[in-house]
Structure 1
Amino acid sequence: MPKSRTSSLTRRGFVAAGGALGLVAALAACGGTDSAKGDGGKDKGSAASGPWTFTDDVTKKEVSLKAKPKNIVAFTGTAAALYDYGVPVKGVFGPTRTADGKPDVQAGSMDISKVEILGNVYDEFNVEKYAALQPDLLVTNTWDGKYWYVPEASKDKILKLAPAAAIGVGGDATLDKGLQRTAELAKALGADLNSKTVVDAKARFEAASAKLREATKANPGVKVLAGSGADALFYVSTPDTSADLKYFKSLGVEFVTPEKLDEGGFFESLSWENAGKYKADVVLLDNRTGTLQPDALKAKATWAELPAVKAGQVTPRVTEPIYSYDRCAQILEDLTKAVQNAKKVS
């Protein structure tokens, strides 16, 4: 998924480098029902009458609290997903606000003026502000068995203040599994998964998945390259590691598979002189704030020479999806259009 500043960066460094320009992510939402759900979305009894439990995908152990947590702090993208379910958070960390003060793409629909921003870039997390929020629960994603955007240097201090519950979006996880786990967490935190909004969103996602599968069958042989641009390097992601690309591949999307992956196993970094190493009909381009977008990439001669670029077949990749059904349905719908309209140019 994410990319890096140097060729030796691991996926964590790469992802971090790709999404790093926000300050505050806000979560003003309606809140959900009072029912407490248990691990994996299973009912463990009412929040008012019994403990709250949920399994953390990092430790694989059950987090147990005396009652449903109220003061929640979350990674921006995870907070944005909870927001879509009507679950509010007190604070956020991760790309939230861009340099011009606007919400980062990872903030989704959140009102970023209404949450405490503990850090807006990778390795930034204000522990004092976090403690002042009196957190009951820290929520984030996990790509590699670590808590995403929780700095290693201050991790122990942070995790002593409140238990953590992470949702797996790397390793064996696929997009649909990440969505399911996020929905289970939202339910445990009070969201009503039987509401018309949620039911309709899930139906939209399932329909979008079916349409993408149909598109790949109707236009076979279209090669897609998942790439990310930085000043010195062009990153080509493998479809076999990230949850979104694995899911697209399962629906029939044919990806370029890089031959020599960097440490971490998520991508191959190429110098711009070698950016044309792999030929593709469509470039799925990392849309995160910290990465180069098409206008900036025009200055790279080898970018302009890529067959897909010359053909105008470049489409944004939401490299770190917000795991709510409507958001991910839109991703699938956009990719479907790109596959449907693609001409063979490689």
Structure 2
Amino acid sequence: MAIVPRRTLAAALGALAVLGVGACGGTSSPPAGPATPAAASAGEQGPWTWTDDRGKNISLPHRPQRVVAQFDSAAALWDFGLRPVALFGPHRLKDGSRDRAVGEVDITKVESVGNAFGEFNVEKYASLQPDLMVAGMYEKNSLWYVPKELTEAVDQVAPSVGVQLSGRPLVEIIEKYGELAAALGADQKAASVVEAKNRFDAAGAALKALAAARPDLKIMIVAGTPDGLYVAYLPDHPDITYWGDQLGLNVVYPPKPSEGGFWELVSWENADKYQADAILVDARAASMKIEEMAKKPTWAKLPAVKAGQLYPWRAAERYSYLGYAQVMEELKANLDKARDDVVK
């Protein structure tokens, strides 16, 4: 989350992310081509309707063809076979390469409406002549990465679909994106979609087997900022909830989060408040790197840190079968290496 984090480190990581709050200037001609692989199908001729997670009813004379999506949503829809014409939010690194947060999206074939939190070029967006915008929501009724002060202007260009992300099971979120992609004309029986679902199921089964075989292996999920250590509160994170409640991983988490939910903020002096055999560290760019955190004395004394059992947490993963199959495969490989006797 480029970091008004996903699952809201909001103030702390958000402060790190809001480097540019204005929309970029300039416009460009809309790119040619349809938004979906089924652009010429007869299904486009009839009316299109959708009720989003705000309870907002969208009714259009034809199925939307020119879809613009927030990076996380764009990545999920892409995995389900839907090709947006543009996206916004982190997708291109400083060297021009693709940001991991945008998944498999070919950034050479989509337009950009903004590449950072707080950055949304309304003029560019309007010039693309979008039929529909899609964005996830962590705060109720608030489209992620659409600056609130620009909401009215954005709404005047095209209708939007909001997909609720927080307070919802992981699989349900993934299924919602699949349903939306199907409604927009993407083939959910395509080999790539079916293969991704099978891969997700297999990865989940492998993690569940590991959890059953190694119940004493304790894991904890954290993010670091100059303000302190954020320890993830399991019930507020769809992925961590899935791993703990559905797959049975032994997740160490606070009894309740700090104000705002999602995390408990612990001072660096008290970074040893919770301990686990293995720690997953937020891998987003705005979170402190493990090397930086190592300079904090209390953190450095944690058993998992001394044992070198620190692994990445893919906090900004897109909600698709392929995305979370990759995440769980990586997690399984890392936990296979971890000792479960680090915390005495």
Task: Indicate the TM-score class for this superposition, using the shorter chain for normalisation.
Answer: 0.7 to 0.9
* Deviation of the 1:34 alpha carbon: 4.7
Deviations 1:3-31 (A, max 9, x none): 769xxx9544456457779999x9x9994
Q: TM-score, normalised by structure 2?
A: 0.86
CA–CA separation in structure 2 for the residues paired with 1:245 and 1:3: 19
Give the match for residue 43 of structure 1: none
Give the match for residue 28 of structure 2: none
* Deviation of the 1:228 alpha carbon: 0.7
8 Å CA contact retained: 1:228, 1:291 = yes
8 Å CA contact retained: 2:35, 2:65 = no
The residue correspondences of 1:121-270 to structure 2 (distance < 5 A) are 121-145=116-140, 146-171=142-167, 173-250=168-245, 251-270=247-266
Q: Determine if the alignment matches structure 1 residue 326 to structure 2 residue 331.
A: no
Task: Classify the secondary structure of the residue corresponding to 2:288.
Answer: coil
CA–CA separation in structure 2 for the residues paired with 1:78 and 1:138: 10
Q: Determine if the alignment matches structure 1 residue 79 to structure 2 residue 84.
A: no
Q: Determine if the alignment matches structure 1 residue 308 to structure 2 residue 304.
A: yes
Aligned alpha-carbon RMSD (Å): 2.9
Q: Determine if the alignment matches structure 1 residue 337 to structure 2 residue 342.
A: no
Q: What residue ranges of structure 2 are gaps of 5+ in the alignment?
A: 25-30
8 Å CA contact retained: 2:47, 2:61 = yes
Give the match for residue 32 of structure 1: 37
Q: Determine if the alignment matches structure 1 residue 281 to structure 2 residue 277.
A: yes
Give the match for residue 52 of structure 2: 56
Task: Classify the secondary structure of the residue corresponding to 1:186.
Answer: helix
Give the match for residue 42 of structure 1: none
Deviations 1:53-108 (A, max 9, x none): 22211x12332211111111111121122222332222211112223333222122
Task: Classify the secondary structure of the residue corresponding to 2:327.
Answer: helix
Q: Which amino acid aligns with 1:275?
A: A
Q: Which amino acid aligns with 1:91?
A: A
Q: TM-score, normalised by structure 1?
A: 0.86
CA–CA separation in structure 2 for the residues paired with 1:62 and 1:35: 25
Q: Which amino acid aligns with 2:262?
A: F
Task: Classify the secondary structure of the residue corresponding to 1:73.
Answer: strand
* Deviation of the 1:165 alpha carbon: 0.9
CA–CA separation in structure 2 for the residues paired with 1:307 and 1:29: 53
Q: Which amino acid aligns with 2:113?
A: L
* Deviation of the 1:279 alpha carbon: 0.6
Q: Which amino acid aligns with 1:296?
A: E
Distance 1:70 1:47, change over 3 A: same
8 Å CA contact retained: 1:104, 1:289 = no
Give the match for residue 66 of structure 1: 61
Q: Which amino acid aligns with 1:72?
A: V
CA–CA separation in structure 2 for the residues paired with 1:66 and 1:322: 30
Give the match for residue 90 of structure 1: 85
Give the match for residue 100 of structure 1: 95
Range with bigger deviation, 116-125 or 271-280: 116-125
8 Å CA contact retained: 1:29, 1:86 = no
Q: What residue ranges of structure 1 are gaps of 5+ in the alignment?
A: 37-45
Distance 1:14 1:220, change over 3 A: same
Distance 1:150 1:14, change over 3 A: farther
CA–CA separation in structure 2 for the residues paired with 1:105 and 1:141: 17
Percent of aligned pairs with the same amino acid: 40
Give the match for residue 120 of structure 1: 115
CA–CA separation in structure 2 for the residues paired with 1:17 and 1:186: 33
CA–CA separation in structure 1 for the residues paired with 2:125 and 2:8: 27
CA–CA separation in structure 2 for the residues paired with 1:33 and 1:4: 35
Distance 1:19 1:288, change over 3 A: farther
Distance 1:332 1:195, change over 3 A: same
Distance 1:187 1:327, change over 3 A: same
Give the match for residue 41 of structure 1: none
8 Å CA contact retained: 2:283, 2:315 = yes
Q: How many residues align?
A: 330
Q: Which amino acid aligns with 1:90?
A: V
